[in-house]
Amino acid sequence: MSLLSSTTPIIAFLGQSKYVLLFIGTIIEGPIVMIASGFMYHLGYFSFVPMLIALCVGDLVADVFWYYLGYYFLEPFLKKRGHFLSVTPELLEKARLLFHKYHEKILFISKVTLGFGMALATLMTAGASKIPFKKYMILNALGEVVLVLMLIILGYFFGRASNAIAGWFKTVFLVGAGIVCLVVLYGFSRYMKSKITSQIK
């Protein structure tokens, strides 16, 4: 049996299950999968609407998990172990009051900006603060569409730009562009995190 014939069933399975795999991948690591999806969409591997649905639903499923993790476990955990993280009950209460006051802006902007470097903490704080689940999901869904479209466009841009670069220069370009994006996102996240932390204190 040739190598091609032995791998044909695997290729067929991946082709039939690509949106399911995209959905699962987004639950595990959303932003990276979204950028990669834009790149692969440019190469013709995905149709736009099913790809968009798989990415949005996958990331929202992850949001549900983090919400309920915060709802049931964040406050008990911080009461027992918060001193190891320099989180006092007073600081937790200040964070909760700030979140209740500005949760619409915090949730939407956090989703669009990948959480200022604190995405999971933001989602769990929403649960711990008992923000109504329906409002939580609506705000996250609105921000989700904006985020997914931005990252798809970013990945699509990389795909178009890479077509103009030949050979090993293409690999260097893609790696360099990815590093630049990560550095910019990291710097912006650190800046926003420091601003929010200063407001809590």
Beta strands in the chain, from DSSP E residues, in sequence order: none
pLDDT reading at 2 higher than 50: no
Query: Which whole number is the average pLDDT over 125-130?
Result: 88
Residues spanned by the domain of 114:
16-154+167-200
| 181 belongs to a structural domain | yes
Tally of domains within the chain: 1
Per-residue pLDDT band for 5 (boundaries 50, 70, 90) equals very low
pLDDT tens sequence across 101-116: 888 888 888 888 876 5
Question: Which tokens in the block code for residue 115?
Answer: 């959480």
| 2 belongs to a structural domain | no
Query: 198 or 28: whose pLDDT is higher?
Result: 28
Q: What's the length of the chain?
A: 201
| 118 belongs to a structural domain | yes
pTM, full prediction: 0.73
Query: 66 or 163: whose pLDDT is higher?
Result: 66
pLDDT reading at 7 higher than 50: no
| 5 belongs to a structural domain | no
| 162 belongs to a structural domain | no
Query: 109 or 142: whose pLDDT is higher?
Result: 142
Q: CA-to-CA distance for 125 and 166, rounded, in angstroms?
A: 47
| 6 belongs to a structural domain | no
| Contacts with 159 (C-beta within 8 Å, 6 or more apart), sequence order | 38, 39, 40, 41, 42, 43
| 48 belongs to a structural domain | yes
